[in-house]
Structure 1
Amino acid sequence: MKRHIGAILAAASFLTRLPMPLWVVKDSQAISQASRWFSLIGLFIGLVAAGLLFSLSALMGQALATVLTLVLVILLTGAFHEDGLADLCDGFGGGWEKSRKLAIMKDSQIGVYGVLALICSFAIKLMALHQLPLIQACSALIICHAASRAIAGLVAVFLPYAREDDNNKTPQKDAKLPIRDRLILGVFGILPLLILPLNAALILVAIWLATFVGLLKLMQRHIQGYTGDTLGATQQIIEISGLIFFVIYHFQMTVPI
């Protein structure tokens, strides 16, 4: 039991900025083995976000509560995946060859593509959560945070690691994801979908599947594999596509026939 708790806390140390007990092992090998719990941590982040949005909305209304919730989630996660989205957009948009794209993605400076990606990402999340009724917005946060981290964790199953050097912080590159670990990722990613009606859940899964395949093809075309940045970008894009679905689904269900 302690071994599993340690692995879960190691995953939390990688995906959040929460302090962990000193006995938790947080090296690259430990994180690699703990990656099967990433969707569980995503579920935790989604629950925290939903709790914040629900509580703050009672104090200041949903609009301002949504902004503060997004900011607090960024503080909780350290903008970990947002950084990957910005780097992917800079690299894929600003480089012509694989080596140049990887070099741009590794550069700590952000370019115009990355800035625009972050602005668009925050704006879409803000408007989507603001347009949804409060309970639906909270449900969307829980579902999208859990599923997006599960889906991002599966990228390594389908693509090789793109960088040739070992000087990086991507734990998935060190080990293949066995079937058991894929199942754990999938269970905690799919579990929140039980909140939705069956037809809505199936449509959302189909959208995510199409988005995932498109992202895999994009990575294969640009860098013939994946990096830590592309995993972060995958999480963000899956989360955003899920929120857009919730808005469309809400408006379609409320339009009088």
Structure 2
Amino acid sequence: MRRHLGAILAAASFLTRLPMPLWVGKDSEAIAQASRWFALIGLCIGAVAACLLYALASLMGQELAVVLTLVGIILLTGAFHEDGLADLCDGFGGGWERSRKLAIMKDSQIGAYGVLALVTSFSIKVIALTQLSLPLACISLLVCHAGSRAIAGLVAVYLPYARDDDNNKTPQKDAALPLRNRLVLCICGALPLLMLPLTAAVSLIALWLVTFIALIKLMQRHIQGYTGDTLGATQQIVEIAGLIFFVIYHFQMTVSI
């Protein structure tokens, strides 16, 4: 039990800014072994977001509550995946050759493509969560945060690591993801889908599958592999795709009524 708890806390230390006990491993090897719990941490992050949104909405209305909830999640995670989205857009949009794209993605400075990506991402999240009913918005946070981190964790199964240097912060690059770990990742990511009707859950999975395949092909075409930034970008794009799905689902349900 202590070993599993340590792995879960190691995953939390990597995906959030929460302080952890000193005995929890924080090196690359420990994080790589803990990656199977990334979806579980995503579920916890989604639960925090849902609780925060529900509590704030009763005090100030859903619109402002949504914005403050998103800011709260950014503070909790340190904008970890948002940074990856910005870097991917800067690299893929601003570089011509593979080496140049990888260099741009590694640069700490942000360019026009990255700024536009972050503005667009935040805007879509705000508008989507505002358009949904409050209960459905809370459910969407649980589903999308867990599912998106499960899908991002599977990228390394289908692509090699793209960088040749060892100076990076991507723990998955040196560790295979065995079948048992993939199952843990997928089960934790799929748990919130049980709150949805079967047809809605299947439709969302199908949308995520198409999104995942498109992202894999995009990474293969641009850099012939993945990096830590592309994993973060995958999480963000899959999360956004999920929120858009919930808006469409909510709209169709409203029209049918």
Q: TM-score range by the shorter chain?
A: over 0.9
Q: Measure, in 1, the Cα distance between the counterparts of 2:152 and 2:142.
A: 16
Q: Measure, in 2, the Cα distance between the counterparts of 1:148 and 1:220.
A: 20
Tell me the amino acid that sits aligned with residue 251 of structure 1: F
Aligned residues between the structures: 257
Tell me the amino acid that sits aligned with residue 189 of structure 2: G
Q: What is the RMSD of the two structures over their aligned residues, measured on CA atoms? A: 0.6
* Aligned residues with identical type, % of pairs: 78
After superposition, give the CA deviation of every residue in 1:137-190 in whole Å (9 maximum; x if it has no partner).
000000000000000000000000000001000011011100000000000001
2:99: which partner in 1? 99
2:163: which partner in 1? 163
Q: Measure, in 1, the Cα distance between the counterparts of 2:18 and 2:214.
A: 33
1:203: which partner in 2? 203
Tell me the amino acid that sits aligned with residue 207 of structure 2: I
Tell me the amino acid that sits aligned with residue 9 of structure 2: L
Q: Measure, in 1, the Cα distance between the counterparts of 2:212 and 2:73.
A: 24
2:36: which partner in 1? 36
1:127: which partner in 2? 127
TM-score by length of 1: 0.99
1:68: which partner in 2? 68
Q: Measure, in 2, the Cα distance between the counterparts of 1:61 and 1:209.
A: 34
2:231: which partner in 1? 231
1:253: which partner in 2? 253
User: Which stretches of structure 1, 4 residues or more, deviate above 4 A after TM superposition?
Assistant: none
2:55: which partner in 1? 55
Give the SS at the match of 2:108. Answer: coil
Q: Measure, in 2, the Cα distance between the counterparts of 1:3 and 1:202.
A: 34
Give the SS at the match of 1:255. Answer: helix
Q: Measure, in 2, the Cα distance between the counterparts of 1:91 and 1:256.
A: 43
Q: Measure, in 2, the Cα distance between the counterparts of 1:86 and 1:7.
A: 29
After superposition, give the CA deviation of every residue in 1:73-101 in whole Å (9 maximum; x if it has no partner).
00000000000000000000000000000
Change (3 A) 1:194 1:102: same
2:10: which partner in 1? 10
TM-score by length of 2: 0.99
- The aligned runs of 1:207-226 (5 Å cut-off) are 207-226=207-226
1:46: which partner in 2? 46
Tell me the amino acid that sits aligned with residue 227 of structure 2: T
Gaps of 5+ in 2: none
After superposition, give the CA deviation of every residue in 1:31-52 in whole Å (9 maximum; x if it has no partner).
0000000000000000000000
For residue 256 of structure 1, report the CA deviation from its aligned partner: 4.1
Gaps of 5+ in 1: none
Q: Measure, in 2, the Cα distance between the counterparts of 1:25 and 1:201.
A: 35
For residue 25 of structure 1, report the CA deviation from its aligned partner: 1.0
